[in-house]
Amino acid sequence: MDEYLFFIDETNRTTNNPYFCLAGIVTTRKIYEDEIIPKINEIKLKYFARTDIVFHYSAMQNNRDEFEIFKDKDIKTSFWNDYVSLLKNLNFNVLGVYYDEITMSNLFNANGIRIYEIAFIELLNNYLFFLKAKKGLGNICLESRGLKNDFYLQNSYYNYLKNGSPYYTKDDWEKHLTSLGFIIKKDNNVGLQIADIAPSALLRQINGTKDIFNIGSLFRGKLYKKGTNNQDIFGLKKLI
């Protein structure tokens, strides 16, 4: 069985975006170790002369902290053109789910249900579909949202491993899913740094946002089942 890694991040509702989106990238462990990490380190060395810098999309867009060099528009344009070209040529798929956050909160008692977990379970179902199709074994890596939230999510994950779901049996989960890991944002995890861009990028076309540097097109172009009738089910799924 090939081993797969799924790196997941989220974006929340803003004044310009009504949606919560949970999304990320899936790739084999071999490709991640042999291709993705070295290539990302190359571009870090090119622009920052170090590999321990953590790519954080918000800071990059706003020229904060280590990314003050992006105040020079030529450097910023050169970097993003190189980065988008690099990501386009890397071998990974994108999976995501999204929903209107206010509608979800109104339909369900926000104090009685953790709406982050609704998105997570739906994304988990699609990841298992992916793994079954690939006959693979999969791991999940998320950015930590604090120990209490991590605990709740971990419980949901293990409950599904134990009981199965309406779509899959307990045997499916045991055969194809392994561990769930939580990483702190400042840790230098390359997979999460790429996934950090995915949710907002996927929503660009939906929200009619200008697709600067073609970042949205890049991630939408790598959606699982892209160009098929199942793209909106297993690639980027709208819940509400």
Per-residue model confidence as pLDDT tens digits over 145-185? 999 999 999 998 998 888 878 899 888 988 999 999 999 98
User: CA end-to-end span of the chain, whole Å?
Assistant: 35
pLDDT mean over 82-103:
96
Q: How many CB atoms lie within 10 A of CB 105?
A: 16
Q: Is the pLDDT of residue 67 over 90?
A: yes
Residue 119 contacts residue 95 (beta carbons within 8 Å): no
Mean pLDDT of 187-213: 96
What is the three-class DSSP state of 141?
A: strand
d(CA 214, CA 212): 5
What is the chain's length?
Answer: 240
Helix axes 115-134, 147-163, angle to 10 degrees: 50
Please tell me the predicted confidence (pLDDT) of residue 113: 57
- Output the CA torsion 190→178→26→22 (10° steps): -90
Q: Which CATH class is domain 3-238?
A: alpha beta
Identify the CA nearest to 1 among candidates 36, 28, 22: 28
Q: Which of 156, 74, 145, 94 is nearest to 120 (CA)?
A: 156
